[in-house]
Amino acid sequence: MTDRKTMDDQIRRDFPLIYNHPEIAYLDNAATTQKPQMVLDAVRDYYEESNANPLRGLYDLSVRATEVYEDARELTRAFINAASTEEIVFTRNASESLNLVAYSWARTFLKEGDAVLITIMEHHSNLLPWMQAAKAVGAELHYLEVDVTGLITEEMFRAALTENTKLVAMTQISNVMGVQNDVKTFARIAHENGAVFVCDGAQSVPHIPVDVQDLDVDFLAFSGHKMAAPMGIGVLYGKRDLLDRMPPFLYGGEMIEYVRRDSATYAELPHKFEAGTVNAGGAAGLAAAIQYYQTLGFDVICEREEHLSRYAMEKLSAIPYIHILGAADGAAHHGIFTFTIDGVHPHDIAAILDEDGVDIRAGHHCAQPLMKHLKTLSTTRASFAFYNTENEVDRLAESLAAVRAKMGYK
Amino acid sequence: MTDRKTMDDQIRRDFPLIYNHPEIAYLDNAATTQKPQMVLDAVRDYYEESNANPLRGLYDLSVRATEVYEDARELTRAFINAASTEEIVFTRNASESLNLVAYSWARTFLKEGDAVLITIMEHHSNLLPWMQAAKAVGAELHYLEVDVTGLITEEMFRAALTENTKLVAMTQISNVMGVQNDVKTFARIAHENGAVFVCDGAQSVPHIPVDVQDLDVDFLAFSGHKMAAPMGIGVLYGKRDLLDRMPPFLYGGEMIEYVRRDSATYAELPHKFEAGTVNAGGAAGLAAAIQYYQTLGFDVICEREEHLSRYAMEKLSAIPYIHILGAADGAAHHGIFTFTIDGVHPHDIAAILDEDGVDIRAGHHCAQPLMKHLKTLSTTRASFAFYNTENEVDRLAESLAAVRAKMGYK
Amino acid sequence: MAHNTFYNEILTDHNMNPAHKYELPDANMTLEGVNPSCGDDIILQLKVVDGVIEDGAYTGDGCAISQASADIMLDLIIGKPVEEAKRLSEIFLRMIKGKITEEEKEELEEAGILEDIAHMPARVKCAVLGWHTMEELLAEE
Amino acid sequence: MAHNTFYNEILTDHNMNPAHKYELPDANMTLEGVNPSCGDDIILQLKVVDGVIEDGAYTGDGCAISQASADIMLDLIIGKPVEEAKRLSEIFLRMIKGKITEEEKEELEEAGILEDIAHMPARVKCAVLGWHTMEELLAEE
Ligand SMILES: Cc1ncc(COP(=O)(O)O)c(C=O)c1O
Ligand SMILES: Cc1ncc(COP(=O)(O)O)c(C=O)c1O
């Protein structure tokens, strides 16, 4: 136990906001994470030592800026084991990554009568882009339903596919139930069915090792800000032959080869998809975040998060009147616990916990169809990162245990 | 003169990269600017004191993050004198802002046979989105030609409009010739013609006071990174009634009201256009940059940049074999000098200047149709910001004067 | 910035034991108010006779703040002329923006406990839901 | 990081007074190479007889590096067997990536002056344009 506490301290010292604010138990990590010192330093260092518009300048500073930016791409490639940096497109966030695929791939290659399959547990960012793209081309949007544990079996998946299913979009880890989908198996089955497989990695890439070649997904989207990087930088991985055949999405500077008055040809991958001045400062931050992850290692990260998950499940499920969505096994939650307390509105729970310095989220978690499917309007969610501690779980549990009394229940 | 030098020093002390690297004369400000200390501090401070996912959390930290983000919006509104913060959409950069209008307004409201009018001097980011949108709906793309001085007269503008012109997109200041277009007059004429007027403010907002209500433009796009803010944050101003009638562009979290399985309603302005987790860190940086601008004041900024422009015109035009694009009057250049030197390729000029620590750009400046129109493939560009000095102009001029000899000309 | 006492007895009591949360059989005005972003939902019913609010009630779902605020509002306005209710509502909405005097706050009676909501922007919509609904309803007259 | 001597006499001389910049009337192989991003453009012509490059020339537009590099290349390969030219080209392209030995560099003769281009990534495409064009041309055989 002392080992764990020592490690807690070491890690927390890396995160200024956490370290300087012991009064806060930050448990809204599925929404966004805090940033380690070295990430903030890397961003600053970029602006103080290497800032220029990357990719075009012939002078030293611009060469340095380009190096920072392209080194970040290489680090990102290695982090998810993509075959080539050409397959790594920097975007603003996971939402933009998914929209890019929906505009550029889906609206180009889907036809009337085709079907898009998503699951009922998708985040709005992995739902609305497909709903709109399907509408635009006259395709159907199919939902794969799940039960309260959130589990999708191979059978369920096969049953949800039709011969018209040309695109499957699925999250690897649910931001509501924390359940992990067997993306590798589903991608294989989708491919056998002739469908392209889009994986929403917003909640998985920050928490488990993700290897796009092993999973064999066609696209993977994730956000830097949910994995210790600054806001404003996200990633789209796409298989090269797919990206190659897709038209550009955003048009402008940096993504062209030749521009004539009435036509244009476009730059090679990945630049074709990066219009306008790139976010090199954000990329520098993402690179540092990846290095932070690599130094700590997924062994440690997963062990800590799994431990916290088990511990939280134990503590939370002991509270009367609480109902936790998803699996009974804590380890299956990947740090995400969404729950209700009888008789207390989730917004009130979050507000009361705030008074104790415990930061959790309340609402629909950008998953309204899932909420409706689970027959609840709104819920409360605590979500952990590797820098959280048992002590914070205790604070959460104590606060929650007092909520009903504070609301006037005897 | 001492006054100017003292001011130079004061200002340069605010910019770490410039202050710590006196060996560099950074003259590529039209591409991106350097960042003052207070901007870097504001970003860091956001992440160390207020970081959370804005807009949704009920806890204090998220409330603070929301405040930072929405305060930045209010500052931006005031900076360009928009009527309401609902008219300020944060994007990644000017390119994305223009794409937003092209996808959401142009592809919705333009019809076959309509015409889009742009000028031959547009940056690719204010050209390709319209070329593509026009193609998608079957509209025509018309170009307004300019002569070597870049001047567009009212007559020329009227002549270029047709009764089918439904959208005019024009830069306020050219990133190649530095010439300023009389956007106010052209917007009025465009409106009389029943067209919507999109103003590309990427090169104007950082250099002259821009008042969207006075100009009466319908949309204005600009980038933070060209005005001392970090990369990854840009702005789209749009008139409320236009934005209101436009469909969303990117879909996902934060931009919805209700999501049902087969339909959705969208959040109010401006959130309807901000899908996914917002870039609050970037907004904090933009807010600080605006405050920096306000503290210095456009009086000072314009005076300094005009002075540098006149001085540069004097020095550069004295160099033999040089040809400067655009007006003969230095003050008309807004700090932007694009030129060629007989017998030396622009890339070689930039590379030779780099050896002297003078950072300028060479290439097509994302304006290939203009280059072709001006019968040159590629040019060299030096561009100034308020923190540049006479001494840097001297260094530029000396380096340039030596280029031909270094290339072996006698 | 601690709002330690925000969920105080007055608030929780109005939420747990509301005086006016039922259907009003002889209401002559009814309006539903909804906060899309958080799902709060209130159906406000009033019985207005000769310009006076003779009775009022509400039903609905939502957080304690939205429900208690509606109950507190009804306590305050039942028996008052419509114009007076509008005046009080205007004061209440100004209070939420942090712009009223001590005297004005006293006029609001128990509703004054919601003053601190100004520091909780995400909850402002909850606190004002009932009041906005009433304003809309009375504006219909 | 100063590359003070990059535009040295050898480079500028090949650019200003190229030995091989003209049209080759009896060429039996011709290929145009283009760098879209910077507009460099080279038309390379070779006369290959019995596997030996008997003569070569180029025309084109572009920066000093692209033009001088092509001229230097032709100095090196004219009179050599095709296989030898390919071998030298492979060494040259490896040099640009910073991966050759001193002995190999000596084989490149004057082309060795372009070694430092490795520190100027934006110019690599200029330096290799002529060489890539030659490789493509010889691969056609
Ligand atoms: C006139 C003009 N418009 C648009 C842009 C595009 O700006 P960004 O690259 O920041 O999207 C630029 C900058 O390169 C510009 O100079
Ligand atoms: C599962 C899932 N997908 C997508 C997103 C969207 O990420 P972002 O808001 O960074 O675009 C989120 C985060 O909210 C998420 O949890």
Token pair in block for residue B151 = 């001047």
Token pair in block for residue A188 = 């294989």
User: Residue B344 carries which DSSP code?
Assistant: B
Q: Nearest 5 degrees, angle CA A397-CA A379-CA A94?
A: 105
The pLDDT of residue C38 is 74
- Catalytic hit among B75, B110, B217, B366: B366
- Binding-site residues on chain B for chain C (CB distance < 8 A): 56-58, 60, 62-63, 66-67, 257-258, 265, 267
Residue whose entry in the numeric block shows the structure tokens 């299956």: A332
Q: Which helix (H) or strand (E) holds A72?
A: helix A60-80
- Binding-site residues on chain A for chain C (CB distance < 8 A): 344-348, 351-352, 355, 363-364, 377-378, 406-409
**Of B292, B266, B273, nearest in space to B234 by CA:** B273
What is the amino acid identity at position C96?
I
Cβ(A245)–Cβ(A269) below 8 Å: no
Residue A159 backbone zone (phi > 0: left; psi -120 to 50: alpha; other: beta): alpha
- A95 CA distance to ligand 2 middle (Å): 6
Higher pLDDT, residue A375 or B327: B327
pLDDT band at D4 (very low <50, low <70, confident <90, very high): low
Cβ(A330)–Cβ(A393) below 8 Å: no
Higher pLDDT, residue A376 or B270: B270
User: Residue D81 carries which DSSP code?
Assistant: B
> Does the distance separating the beta carbons of A47 and B35 come in below 8 Å?
yes
Q: Point out the least confidently predicted range of A156-170, A193-207, D64-78, D106-120.
A: D106-120
Taking the C-alpha atoms of residue B330 and residue B382, their distance in angstroms, rounded to an integer, is 13
pLDDT per residue as tens digits for the range B184-206: 999 999 999 999 999 999 999 99
Most B-contacting residue of C35, C37, C38, C66 (CB-CB within 10 A), to test interface: C37
* Edge-first strand listing for the sheet containing A196-200: A88-91, A234-238, A219-223, A196-200, A165-171, A115-119, A140-144
User: Is the pLDDT at B341 greater than 80, yes or no?
Assistant: yes
- C12-20: average pLDDT: 96
Token pair in block for residue D126 = 């200029």
Pocket test for ligand 2, best of A175, A210, A370, A383 (most atoms within 8 A of CB): A175
- Count CB-CB contacts under 10 A for residue D4: 8
The answer to whether the CB of A108 is under 6 A from ligand 1 is no
The answer to whether the CB of B200 is under 6 A from ligand 1 is yes
What pTM value is reported for the model? 0.96
Cα of A53 to nearest chain D Cα, Å: 13
Max CA-CA distance within chain D?
46
Chains D and C physically touch (3 or more Cβ atom pairs below 8 Å): no
B199 a catalytic residue: no
User: Is the pLDDT at D1 greater than 50, yes or no?
Assistant: no
Taking the C-alpha atoms of residue D69 and residue B297, their distance in angstroms, rounded to an integer, is 50
For A97-123, letters b (16+ CB in 10 Å) and e give: bbbbbbbbbbbeebeeebbbbbbbbbb
pLDDT band at B2 (very low <50, low <70, confident <90, very high): low
**E strand spans, A271-405:** 322-324, 336-341, 358-359, 361-363, 379-383
The pLDDT of residue C1 is 37
Cα of D120 to nearest chain A Cα, Å: 7
Kindly give the pairing relationship between strand C52-61 and strand C41-49: antiparallel
- Count CB-CB contacts under 10 A for residue C93: 17
Q: Could you say which of B344, B352, B355 has the minimum Cβ distance to residue D2?
A: B355
Token pair in block for residue A44 = 């600053």
- C98-126: average pLDDT: 91
- D2-13: average pLDDT: 80
Report the atom number in ligand 1 closest to the C-alpha of B96: 11
The answer to whether the CB of B86 is under 6 A from ligand 1 is no
Taking the C-alpha atoms of residue A95 and residue B330, their distance in angstroms, rounded to an integer, is 45
In chain D, residues with a C-beta closer than 8 Å to the C-beta of B409 are 16
> Does the distance separating the beta carbons of A60 and D121 come in below 8 Å?
no
In chain A, residues with a C-beta closer than 8 Å to the C-beta of C15 are 407-408
The pLDDT of residue D119 is 81
Token pair in block for residue C74 = 């009804």
Residue whose entry in the numeric block shows the structure tokens 């606190």: C127
Which long-range contacts (C-beta less than 8 Å, at least 24 apart) are formed by B317-322?
B318/B397, B319/B397, B319/B400, B319/B401, B320/B404, B321/B404, B322/B400
Average pLDDT, chain D: 92
**Of A256, A254, A238, nearest in space to A246 by CA:** A238
The dihedral built from the CA positions of residue A169, A174, A177 and A182, taken in this order, carries a sign that is positive
pLDDT band at C119 (very low <50, low <70, confident <90, very high): confident
Pocket test for ligand 1, best of B101, B123, B236, B334 (most atoms within 8 A of CB): B123
**Which whole-number Å values give the CA distances from A366 to A97, A103, A363, D64, D99, in the listed order?**
17, 21, 8, 57, 52
- C66-80: average pLDDT: 97
Cβ(B108)–Cβ(B253) below 8 Å: no
pLDDT lower than 50: segments of chain A = none
pLDDT per residue as tens digits for the range D32-54: 999 877 778 999 999 999 999 99
In chain D, residues with a C-beta closer than 8 Å to the C-beta of B408 are 9, 12-13, 15-16
- A192 CA distance to ligand 2 middle (Å): 28
- A254 CA distance to ligand 1 middle (Å): 10
User: Is the pLDDT at D3 greater than 70, yes or no?
Assistant: no
Taking the C-alpha atoms of residue B398 and residue B319, their distance in angstroms, rounded to an integer, is 9
The pLDDT of residue A376 is 87
- A117 CA distance to ligand 2 middle (Å): 19
The pLDDT of residue C5 is 63
Average pLDDT, chain B: 96
* Edge-first strand listing for the sheet containing B322-324: B322-324, B336-341, B379-383, B361-363
Q: Could you say which of C36, C121, C122 has the minimum Cβ distance to residue B257?
A: C36
Residue A405 makes CB contacts below 8 A (sequence gap 6+) with: none
Q: Could you say which of B223, B233, B252 has the minimum Cβ distance to residue A124?
A: B252
For C111-137, letters b (16+ CB in 10 Å) and e give: bbbbbbbeebbbbbbbbbbbbbbbbeb
- Coil vs helix vs strand at A336: strand
- A270 CA distance to ligand 2 middle (Å): 22
User: Neighbours of D (≥3 Cβ pairs closer than 8 A)?
Assistant: A, B
Higher pLDDT, residue A149 or B71: B71
Taking the C-alpha atoms of residue A153 and residue A167, their distance in angstroms, rounded to an integer, is 19
> Does the distance separating the beta carbons of A47 and B40 come in below 8 Å?
yes
Taking the C-alpha atoms of residue A403 and residue A375, their distance in angstroms, rounded to an integer, is 23
Taking the C-alpha atoms of residue A123 and residue A127, their distance in angstroms, rounded to an integer, is 6
Q: How many CB pairs under 8 A join A and D?
A: 19
User: Is the pLDDT at B31 greater than 60, yes or no?
Assistant: yes
Residues 237-256 of B with CB under 8 A from A: 250-254, 256
Q: Could you say which of A52, A129, A250 has the minimum Cβ distance to residue B252?
A: A129
The answer to whether the CB of A93 is under 6 A from ligand 2 is yes
Q: Could you say which of A345, A408, A409 has the minimum Cβ distance to residue C63?
A: A345
Report the atom number in ligand 2 closest to the C-alpha of A93: 11
Taking the C-alpha atoms of residue B354 and residue B371, their distance in angstroms, rounded to an integer, is 23
> Does the distance separating the beta carbons of C122 and B62 come in below 8 Å?
yes
The pLDDT of residue C141 is 64
Cβ(A193)–Cβ(A165) below 8 Å: yes
Cα of B137 to nearest chain C Cα, Å: 35
- A92 CA distance to ligand 1 middle (Å): 17
Q: What is the value of ipTM here, to two decimals?
A: 0.95
Domain positions in chain C: 2-138
Q: Whose CA is nearest to atom 7 of ligand 1?
A: B94
- Count CB-CB contacts under 10 A for residue A314: 12
- B80-90: average pLDDT: 98
SS3 per residue for A271-306: HHHCCCCCCHHHHHHHHHHHHHHHHHCHHHHHHHHH
Cα of A392 to nearest chain B Cα, Å: 16
The answer to whether the CB of B119 is under 6 A from ligand 1 is no
**Of C93, C68, C64, nearest in space to C18 by CA:** C68
Cα of B52 to nearest chain C Cα, Å: 14
Architecture (CATH level 2) of domain D2-138 = Alpha-Beta Complex (3.90)
pLDDT band at C140 (very low <50, low <70, confident <90, very high): confident
User: Neighbours of B (≥3 Cβ pairs closer than 8 A)?
Assistant: A, C, D
Chain A residue nearest residue C61, CA to CA: A345
> Angle, nearest 10°, between helix axes B37-45 and B280-296?
150
The answer to whether the CB of A35 is under 6 A from ligand 2 is no
Q: Could you say which of D15, D37, D123 has the minimum Cβ distance to residue B351?
A: D123
Peptide bond into A369 cis (omega under 30): no
Cα C41 to the chain's mean position, in Å?
Answer: 13
Q: Which ligand is nearest to the CA of A253?
A: 1
Report the atom number in ligand 1 closest to the C-alpha of B366: 14
What is the amino acid identity at position A368?
Q
Cα of A128 to nearest chain B Cα, Å: 6
- C30-34: average pLDDT: 94
Report the atom number in ligand 2 closest to the C-alpha of A226: 10
- D119-129: average pLDDT: 89
Asked if A123 has any chain B CB less than 8 Å from its own CB, the reply is yes
